[in-house]
Structure 1
Amino acid sequence: MNLSRRNFLKGAAFGTAGLGAASAAFLTGCAPQTPTEADLAETGASTSSDYPVQVLGAMDEAAETFEGDVVVLGCGPGGIACATRLAEEGARVLVVEKTTTVGGTGLVCSGNCYISLNSQYQQDQGLEADIPAFYKEWLEAVHYHCDHEVLSTYLRNCGRVVDWLLGYGFGFHMKETPATNGLTGFAYRISQPAKDSGNRQEVYGKMMDLVAQAGGAFHGECTGTELIVDDEGTVVGLRADRNGETVDFMAKAVVIASGGYGANREMIDQYAKNPLLGRDPVLNNGEGARMAWAAGAKQPWNLGALCVDTLYPIDADHVSYPGGVQALGNVMQDAGKARMHVNQLGRRFHSEDAFCWVPTYGGTNAVACDEPYLFVIADQAALDALKDSDETVDDAYLESMTALGVLFAGDTPEALAEAVGWDPAVFSEEFSHYNELCAQGEDPVFFKTAQHLVPYGAGPYYAVRMAPTPFGTCGDLNVTPRMEVRGVEPGSTVKGLYAVGTETVGTMHNDYYWALGQTVGWAHTSGVLAAEEIAANVLS
């Protein structure tokens, strides 16, 4: 069977293929599984032989076995896009998801800067992006240390995937946001539907309905545990846990779309430079990465890179408290850029407006400086303005933030330092020096813009503990432009294994995440690319 919808997806990367079809019902009924201490200890291994893998013909029998054409682990944006693209041609896709939710992190992310280069949607409005120029800018930003071919493949295909999603009713729209790198303007980025509008849930549900109509199935509340390989090492299935019993999913290919390990405290501590735990309510525990490594996947050189973004108030245990005093360090507003940032010792360590220019850069800077959190300094006038603008900020709220170790106060700089635990002489000198720079209108060390050098007024003074909190991890698997998982040996791939979305987004980055708002776009695009490769070269 030819890929009959390939023509409407203009500029597709790969050719035609045939897809088989069979029938199966949508299913639910597999239980979430938290990794044991032994499982987590295994993540320290550097070679695939240290991880378990199931070998066909030499493994215990499962309680139940399901067969399909392709298994997709994870039902977030990447997994849904991949499953839907395959289902369009009649493939039986078994979608395995640890929760009962369709949409994953795609339901909670914001998305006012979704990269879309030369979609028909934009071109119909006279908007055209310079893809080669943007490609070069990206390479410069990551110091050329990324997979150039994967990056090019993404930029050349992201626009057509937007048009494809629009066909399902995905509510993209034009919403101009502050300038951000080369993403300025509608020619380079558009906005996703608002996360509270219900559009994402509706469209993702419609896409999964197509998967069912093509004979596929959604297996909710099911956690993958091991990949199944044949005696030649080709991935031929996935073993999962369902309420304590073993379930196998057999197919001709497996796609990892489980979203990284941003919710796994142990893996974050091991691989990331700083122990910053993702703030979104997700369950990305790293099982996809561990299974792939077990089957021979190569660990990327930048394993541990985080998608670090806007400042969130936190306590010493890295529990975040959005809202309220977060506004004192709102990095996208001029008032936030004017405030002084200090490190754990009460010393200023970077330019606050450079931090605010692009939150991702700022988060990277803080992490690179070995600062798991910083403190934003405010005066009484700033706190009064916050009370006037936010009805949730009252004395009871401020007392609660103080009790949690998020907010600190002192009538003088010395008293504030004592409240936080800094050397009063050190912070007092730093505070006075900053006010002198503001009076002079010049910052000779960090070169902060003069307009943001605003002196502090009268006390009391406040310090808010904040962290550039990550959305999640930035890739734990290397892939080819066809979304094949690269193996340990140079030039090799793990046969039968593909990966999409957050698991692979680090392929296009250095040791930090550059292109603000691009993760979901990459998930959708990589999912489509993986589906087209599997259709062309596995299911034909």
Structure 2
Amino acid sequence: MRKPSLTRMFNVSISLIMILAVIGGCSGNSAEPAATGQPTASPEATQPAADSSGIPASFKAGTYTAEADGKDGKIQVEVTLDDKQTITDIKVVSQTETAGIGVEAIDKIKEQIIAGQTLKVDAVSGASESSNAILAAVEDALNQAGGDVAAFKSREVAKAGAGKTEQLTADVVVVGAGASGVSAAVSAADKGAKVILIEKTATIGGASNLSWAGKFYNSSAAVSSGLKVSVEKEISDWIVNNHWRVDAAAVRQYVTKSGETYDWLTGKGYQTTFINFGGEQLHMLPAYETRQDLLRAMLAESVEKGGGQVLTETTAKKLLTGASGEVTGVVAEKADGTTLEITGKSVVMATGGYAANKEMVKEAFGFEGVNGGLGQNIGEGLKMAWEAGAKVPDNFGGQMLHQTLARATEKLKAQYEPFQASYPLMTTYLPNFMNVGPSGARFRDEAATLTAVAAANTSAFNGAYHLVIVSKAQLDALKTKGMNGVKAPALPGMPPEFYAAFTDKFTLDNPWKDADKVFDAMAANGDGFKGNTIEELAANAGMDAVVFKEAFTKYEAAAKSGVDTEFGKAKEYLLPMGESGPYYAVIAEINNLGSVGGLLVNTKFQVLNDKRVPVKGLYAVGLESEGVLYNDTYVGNGVGLGYSFTSGRLGGEDAAAAALGK
């Protein structure tokens, strides 16, 4: 679905036109502020005595500068307080958060702080890291001023709509405004249905705002370019590769109908660009910064023009059901606390799955890696549907594991320029280094790193992380000859946004200056390990010394002989470690871009119950319905996004037809 691995050919052709895409916030972890203030005042452990007005004696009015770590970098603010300890202004001096997600969260939180004179503000759904960063920075500024932070943290923000209930009606209610939800709302409105679309964040587009390309089989653009896929072979291979544990009709529908989605989107003004990606038909989405506006324009032209509504910052709480178990609407809550009771003849679930719910992912799939998807996707949509009678699919638990990450990258970016900070990351994408699991045992032919899905799943099957072993001799070769020094077969197949900041340096022959210093910093930061001997490395990394030594000895023998009897790694990828240390272990983690499935649907996108009979009035599109295409995990390239748009388009039409009695 998102950000597939790139071949060398593609790196050359596409890097000129890709734009940095980053995720705006998800984990909810508060960042510790790193403040630079003027004037400065040291915060005390206990609150200083206050005068009769309640203002601490140590408080000094003025403008204070502070910063905290957001999702994508530092957020720096200037906070102005008057002599009554009132925050009169918060100016964002600098930030690098994602437009439409993190930036909107910063603006919203800033307004709420000033309006309520409070730090007791809820994080914006889907952008919690950005939200918590602005709160942390303002708190630090208050501390610098000697202000009463406890008072600011205790003031409640009154919700104007608390206790109020409104009734709304529609033909079709769509829950979730990502690619699938927007497509469903638009196509339903085009069929004459009055549509109400609700979205719990302030952003329209969901993961499609962060995605790279979608697959629309045999689109008019693909065919006109001379590339045409054999539909029957594609369907047959798909079913076999998923061990027949898929809905063959659903696979056929996507493969045969997705090409029409390309023309449909183009007609709506959402223009994708076809590329021949090594024989695959991929379609790049519009420029990142334009996508939300394009989707909003689609909704305005269809949903709103047809008398419907688009309600953001409105969270679905439960599904309404009738006496016979049919779904009749949705109960939701607006940001101001108002309860909405929205009745509809068809309800379409498009809430994006549960990949941000760590406990749910671990229980369903055993995965403990990184959530690279949206922080708001925590599974409440699935739970609402299950409570309304939907079946939990037999293959429930699949995930979209699609990238490798080096834990060291972010901290190193604060110490080194982007190319150097990415040294450890690049080693995780090359087949020339030894890979071991947490125990120290080697677990794969490292050539798996050349294919995104293979790299991700082989690692995830062996623990929460894996370790890439790099020796002094290998670092010395990288320092002098770049990746050519370790005989890299091609540039690391990282997503374009991973190297967008250093495309000019991202070459095989560019020497890795100060590589040893960077790797030392990685170990010092706790994001990797170093040992002067393999025994010391094993101890520092928490590996079993016996297990690691055996694996290391066997690997070195294979590198010298050119024959890997354990995993069959090709001779050209077997690189000796050298005779002496130090040795390093890079902590590599797998990025989960989204959960796959959770609701069982038929080809009309009706949600099925335990008897595999439709739950009347309930539909599902996008990731939550994608389990019909896969066995236990996503293995596609651009399919996630292509299916989201296609299932939304078709599911919206089906929901409208049922609602209108057509």
TM category, shorter: 0.7 to 0.9
> Which region of structure 1 is more displaced relative to structure 2, 295-304 or 412-421?
412-421
> Which region of structure 1 is more displaced relative to structure 2, 78-87 or 437-446?
437-446
Residue 437 of structure 2 aligns to which amino acid in structure 1? N
Q: 1:252 aligns with which of 345, 348, 367?
A: 345
Q: 2:425 aligns with which of 327, 338, 355?
A: 327
For 2:218, the equivalent position in structure 1 comes to 118
Q: 1:337 aligns with which of 409, 426, 431?
A: 431
Residues 1:460 and 2:554 are matched in the alignment: no
Q: CA separation of 1:281/1:453 partners in 2, compared to 1, >3 Å: closer, same or farther?
A: same
For 1:497, the equivalent position in structure 2 comes to 618
For 2:541, the equivalent position in structure 1 comes to 420
Q: CA separation of 1:270/1:78 partners in 2, compared to 1, >3 Å: closer, same or farther?
A: same
Residue 101 of structure 1 aligns to which amino acid in structure 2? T
For these two proteins, the number of residue pairs brought into alignment is 465
Q: 1:203 aligns with which of 294, 297, 310?
A: 294
Q: 2:310 aligns with which of 202, 215, 218?
A: 218
> Which region of structure 1 is more displaced relative to structure 2, 375-384 or 520-529?
375-384
Write out aligned runs for 1:109-508 (5 A). Answer: 109-111=211-213, 114-177=214-277, 184-185=278-279, 188-193=280-285, 196=288, 198-210=289-301, 211-242=303-334, 243-314=336-407, 324-331=422-429, 336-353=430-447, 355-369=448-462, 371-380=463-472, 382-383=474-475, 385=478, 398=519, 401-457=522-578, 459-489=581-611, 491-508=612-629
**Unpaired runs of at least 5, structure 2:** 1-107, 109-121, 127-162, 483-504, 507-511
What secondary structure, in the 3-state scheme, does the structure 2 residue paired with 1:78 have? helix
Residue 625 of structure 2 aligns to which amino acid in structure 1? T
Q: CA separation of 1:64/1:397 partners in 2, compared to 1, >3 Å: closer, same or farther?
A: farther
Write out aligned runs for 1:32-181 (5 A). Answer: 63-111=165-213, 114-177=214-277
**Structure 1 position 410, deviation (Å):** 1.8
Give distance in 2, aligned partners of 1:500 and 1:94. 16
**Structure 1 position 425, deviation (Å):** 3.9
| TM, length-normalised to structure 1 | 0.80
Residues 280-317 of structure 1, C-alpha deviations (whole Å, 9 max, x = no match): 343101111000000000001121111111111238xx
> Which region of structure 1 is more displaced relative to structure 2, 439-448 or 230-239?
439-448
Residues 1:515 and 2:628 are matched in the alignment: no
For 1:11, the equivalent position in structure 2 comes to none
Contact 1:32 / 1:223 at 8 angstroms: preserved in 2? Answer: no
Residues 207-247 of structure 1, C-alpha deviations (whole Å, 9 max, x = no match): 12222112121111111110001111111100112243421
Residues 414-458 of structure 1, C-alpha deviations (whole Å, 9 max, x = no match): 221122122334323322321211222221221122221222245
Residue 127 of structure 1 aligns to which amino acid in structure 2? L
Residues 480-535 of structure 1, C-alpha deviations (whole Å, 9 max, x = no match): 0111101111x311110000101111211111211122101110000011112123
What secondary structure, in the 3-state scheme, does the structure 2 residue paired with 1:498 have? strand
Q: CA separation of 1:168/1:393 partners in 2, compared to 1, >3 Å: closer, same or farther?
A: farther
Q: CA separation of 1:215/1:401 partners in 2, compared to 1, >3 Å: closer, same or farther?
A: farther
What secondary structure, in the 3-state scheme, does the structure 2 residue paired with 1:136 have? helix
Q: CA separation of 1:298/1:400 partners in 2, compared to 1, >3 Å: closer, same or farther?
A: farther
Residue 204 of structure 1 aligns to which amino acid in structure 2? L
**Structure 1 position 397, deviation (Å):** 6.1
Give distance in 1, aligned partners of 2:215 and 2:310. 29
Contact 2:406 / 2:428 at 8 angstroms: preserved in 1? Answer: no
| TM, length-normalised to structure 2 | 0.66
Contact 2:172 / 2:656 at 8 angstroms: preserved in 1? Answer: no
Contact 1:78 / 1:523 at 8 angstroms: preserved in 2? Answer: yes
Give distance in 2, aligned partners of 1:425 and 1:342. 13
Residues 439-479 of structure 1, C-alpha deviations (whole Å, 9 max, x = no match): 22221221122221222245322111112221111111111
- Identical aligned residues as a percent: 31
**Structure 1 position 269, deviation (Å):** 2.5
Residue 192 of structure 1 aligns to which amino acid in structure 2? M
Contact 1:31 / 1:98 at 8 angstroms: preserved in 2? Answer: no
Give distance in 2, aligned partners of 1:88 and 1:438. 62
What secondary structure, in the 3-state scheme, does the structure 2 residue paired with 1:488 have? coil
Give distance in 1, aligned partners of 2:603 and 2:249. 6
Give distance in 1, aligned partners of 2:629 and 2:539. 44
What secondary structure, in the 3-state scheme, does the structure 1 residue paired with 2:568 have? coil
**Unpaired runs of at least 5, structure 1:** 1-27, 35-60, 178-183
Residue 531 of structure 1 aligns to which amino acid in structure 2? G
Give distance in 2, aligned partners of 1:220 and 1:151. 32
For 1:43, the equivalent position in structure 2 comes to none
Residues 167-196 of structure 1, C-alpha deviations (whole Å, 9 max, x = no match): 22333224444xxxxxx41xx422322663
**Structure 1 position 398, deviation (Å):** 4.9
Give distance in 1, aligned partners of 2:387 and 2:124. 21
Residues 389-417 of structure 1, C-alpha deviations (whole Å, 9 max, x = no match): 58998788656643443211122222211
RMSD: 2.9
Residues 308-364 of structure 1, C-alpha deviations (whole Å, 9 max, x = no match): 11111238xxxx999624533443xxxx111111011111011111x2243213322
Give distance in 2, aligned partners of 1:248 and 1:383. 62
Looking at both structures, which has the greater relative contact order when contacts are Cα pairs under 8 Å and sequence separation is at least 6?
1
Q: 1:532 aligns with which of 648, 653, 660?
A: 653
Give distance in 1, aligned partners of 2:367 and 2:592. 11
Contact 1:110 / 1:194 at 8 angstroms: preserved in 2? Answer: no
Contact 2:218 / 2:281 at 8 angstroms: preserved in 1? Answer: no
Give distance in 2, aligned partners of 1:255 and 1:383. 54
Residue 200 of structure 1 aligns to which amino acid in structure 2? R
Residue 92 of structure 1 aligns to which amino acid in structure 2? K
**Structure 1 position 254, deviation (Å):** 0.5
Give distance in 1, aligned partners of 2:125 and 2:319. 16
